[in-house]
Structure 1
């Protein structure tokens, strides 16, 4: 390992609004060395961002010793800011400036001028592959390109320490791999890097790792150490003849199981420590099921360290009535698109996309940033009028009666539709009122949502001040106020930790059992495996569709005979690119 870049001992921090017994950070000890990527991983509210801000010299700690690149962050703030590159969660790109204008601004702020500026810009544009987009407004970039520009701006001035606070949030798998490769090359070149994340697959790639929970470091060391601890405790249950969601719910309620997720037609379980094999009683309703050991992951270890995932019970679904679609609706196409096209000027965002979503099904719409999935999604919600083609929801033509259709569905937007200056309670009251709830019925529904999503403790906190995970919970609660038969979820778990994501899918799976039909977009490839079927959108077109396991089979080859869904996603995109190149060459 390289030289010590950050030394933190006994670091404690408490915000003024916290109670005396509450701490954002509590007696944290951390070492960060040059030449490697150090991961900070943990759930929302674990203290990752607070720790980042202290290292960047933006926050004075309550107690403890902090030394960053040989400097005291508060006392030597001016010198520190020239040696540290900090990319916060909400990076300060100016969306009405071009790519080049943003770079110039950051160069001005860091005093990089003349030949040095020209050389650095050339190097950074090559590094991030943004040469082609220097004249494009930052606000018009895709999510992945925005993150690359953010990284380029952070690197202006050649910092010794790079602090990245959840850079992979909202970014598709291909862009995340590109971003990771860039940062890894920086570390290999001798830079000290701290990468904060709620994504455990990202944390697994780090050279050194600090797992955090409730302001404490619960593990410090190499990721492989935690992964190895879980060996022999992870299994796949295959050949499930019944409903795999029902099997998962039974398994999560078992004393033998600490965690479980759906993976296509299979269910992946993590057994509690000391359990050598799955009890046959759990498999009594699945006589043909087989249990096979699988390789452990860092996410398994994290869930185990924090006490396990949810138990499979959804209070929300228990109080939700069975959905009745009604007479005259085609149950095989409660959501339907036919040659759906949307153009913005000369640009075609969605190009003749067709699909059906059946009653009681989870349909996933996947694709890279800028592929057209959000445009397609918004048209199917009645929020954007198609240029051509047809879109129907429960038999209602969205071109003619979009308002009537919206009363039938619940919509959770990618960028929250919450009112940030209203409290949690006020948001719940506002949205329930919009959907026609009044009096005791409204009060009962608000109380039910507060209990189902554990929002009671934040009742009087404004939505803008909520931790990200609770913003997501509140947004879903607001979308479900009127008990809609259709649920549209646009990246519902972006940026939230694995436990919260499991809670979301526990509710979604249980609602589907009540007859709710769900259409969802996500950048989490493991979440895609919860879907019954998936449509893969790329360059505005539907390039593949089918159940998750079928798409994995399509992507399999001699080198990767049993791909993960992420590997399948990337391979299918690459194949489409290759087919396009051959077509263009032939023309």
Structure 2
């Protein structure tokens, strides 16, 4: 018996009907599913066929609307396909959904923790639902709490856990009755790099000790490289399946890092991204990472002005090459600050925020220059969201000095809010209003009336490619278009400063690139941008960063300078993720 099953008890499969182990834990043939929201026809899955390899982690990858969640829900017996067949552990998903649900583990994007119950009470509830015998529970709880590091928090309410801890608790609840097949739908979205690494460690431990098969969807393409196999979907169709290197190796010799003066990198990135033969151009520290078309043998003429050196390809390069050829390449409309000025747009001195006896933010001091893109990073629970909300004027300051757009927030918060735009993590849109109605609402909320309001609404529709969706209810939009609409709404009054709270959480890589193209245009137009993110690649796009832990600033500086702090023998050129994890785990606050 595998070690984890021994630890969980000798009767771990007592509630299961014995089934022969199939060659593939999940076999899909010609899978098709159509939805008709609001009378529109949406082809979620179109004749998808593949087999899941047993005993390994397989990544399910694809842009927003590719069909990943639909496929997982069908495999879990929660949706019925329109055509095709799905065999799960040798069972027909249409004929025997309840039998399948008793033998697999399924963790959806929004796992249903009960936030008013403690960690232990959540475990008890899900143990009841899964029929786990009372005599087996304590051993299983102990083992899962050891794996997740939640043992010290058994009495804490789930609602008071950090985002990463909630995800680990959700995974523990899913694993109370150890399944043969585990389906994980974007389990690491909105989770900091430390917690992401811990979640992956748990998953691989289960695979290695139990031979469990795992199908995991993710928006983080660096995670795809950790999978043994990758299944790539696009617009409901299977694009390809294979090991990650099958996607990256064709790009070898086509991936480069272009070094240039920091002050010129955004302008060059914009020029390179529009050049024929350039598939991708993104900021990376002091340089620009460029991916050329596989058919191109020449570098763009802009390369002559910079240091151009080859770098190893990665899975994301192959993803962009396969799916990004139709991406918008033209000039973006001008997005400028209405009254931006030189100097510091945000000044923070000795900032504190207290919740009762708990000090969430402790004496933070930093400044953000006008026209700068400034990243605020930290592990879940580090205090960055609290800091962010205080700077937006959404949360009162306990003590310290904060000036935003030249206004003291403690004495004139309303005036400051009139000069900032705010885009929340969950996109504060009205789902039952159309795109145009949402824009009209936000225009009025910002004090725009008559001709001025109509002009800004038309600008937003044109600048963000929303013209064809003006009469569409925003709740039915794909996630990438919701992101566009939310950003357009935040810019209706031409703010000096734009606050973006994890704006790309759960958004696919192509939509993330589109948003950052717009952020770069804003920065070139003098708009100051403060952004929080868990994507370490996005941290590279910022001019400067502040990394927080336990309410304090651990590091403050350029991405290159922060990475240099983590350099050591055996890790001479750390990635931003490696630098972040080293800082969180080893360094003292500045």
TM score, norm. by length of structure 1 = 0.93
Corresponding residue number in structure 1 for 2:321:
304
- In 1, distance between residues paired with 2:310 and 2:479? 35
Matched, 1:259 2:274: no
What does 1:85-96 align with in structure 2 at a 5 Å threshold?
85-96=105-116
Identify if the C-alpha distance between structure 1 residues 20 and 342 changes in structure 2 by more than 3 Å, giving closer, same or farther.
closer
Per-residue deviation at 1:71? Answer: 1.1
Contact 1:352 1:389 in 2 (8 A): yes
**Is 2:144 the partner of 1:127?**
no
Q: Distance in 2 between the 1:311 and 1:553 partners? A: 35
For residue 15 of structure 1, report the CA deviation from its aligned partner. Answer: 1.0
CA contact (8 A) 1:2 1:190 kept: no
Residue 376 of structure 1 is aligned with which of 383, 387, 393? 387
2:255 counterpart residue number: 234
The answer for the alignment partner of 2:340 in structure 1 is: 325
- Judge conservation of contact 2:337–2:494 (CA < 8 Å) in 1: no
Partner of 1:197: 218
Q: Could you tell me which residue of structure 2 aligns to residue 468 of structure 1?
A: 479
After TM superposition, which residue ranges in structure 1, 4 or more long, deviate above 6 angstroms? 18-21
**1:570 to 2:581 alignment:** yes
Partner of residue 69, structure 2: 49
Deviations 1:48-96, CA, capped at 9 Å, x for gaps: 0000000000000000011111111232122111111111111111111
CA change 1:324–1:167 in 2 (3 A) is same
Q: Counterparts in 2 of 1:174-185, with a 5 A limit?
A: 174-185=194-205
Matched, 1:356 2:377: no
- Find the counterpart in structure 1 of residue 241 from structure 2: 220
Paired with 1:58 and 1:553, the residues of 2 have a C-alpha distance of 48
Is the counterpart of residue 388 in structure 1 residue 399 in structure 2?
yes
Query: Does the 8 Å CA contact 1:234/1:268 hold for their aligned counterparts?
Result: yes
Structure 2 unaligned blocks of 5 or more: 1-20
Closer/same/farther in 2, CA of residues 90 and 456 from structure 1, 3 Å limit:
farther
Selected match of 1:113 from 114, 121, 133:
133
Matched, 1:295 2:312: yes
Calculate the aligned-residue CA RMSD, in Å. Answer: 1.8
Which residue in the other structure is 2:157 paired with?
A: 137
Which stretch shows the higher mean deviation, 18-27 or 3-12?
18-27
Question: Aligned partners of 2:202, 2:586: CA distance in 1, in Å?
Answer: 23
Aligned mates of 2:534, 2:298 — CA distance in 1: 33
- Please, which runs of 5 or more residues in structure 1 have no aligned partner? 581-587
Secondary structure of 2:570's counterpart equals coil
CA 1:255–1:263: 2 relative to 1, 3 Å: same
Shift of 1:221: 0.8
Shift in CA distance, 334/446, structure 1 to aligned 2, threshold 3 Å = same
Q: Distance in 2 between matches of 1:497 and 1:199?
A: 8
Aligned residues: 568
| C-alpha distance 149-97 of structure 1, shift in aligned 2 (>3 A) | same
Say if 2:222 is the partner of 1:207: no
Instruction: Report the more deviating stretch, 456-465 or 418-427.
Output: 456-465
C-alpha deviations, 1:524-574, integer Å up to 9, x for none? 111111111111111110111011101111111112011111111111112
> Paired residue for 1:583?
none
The residue aligned with 1:479 is 490
CA contact (8 A) 2:351 2:397 kept: yes
CA contact (8 A) 1:534 1:545 kept: yes
Q: Which residue of 2 aligns with 1:411?
A: 422
Change in Cα spacing, 1:426 to 1:20, as seen in structure 2 (3 Å) is closer
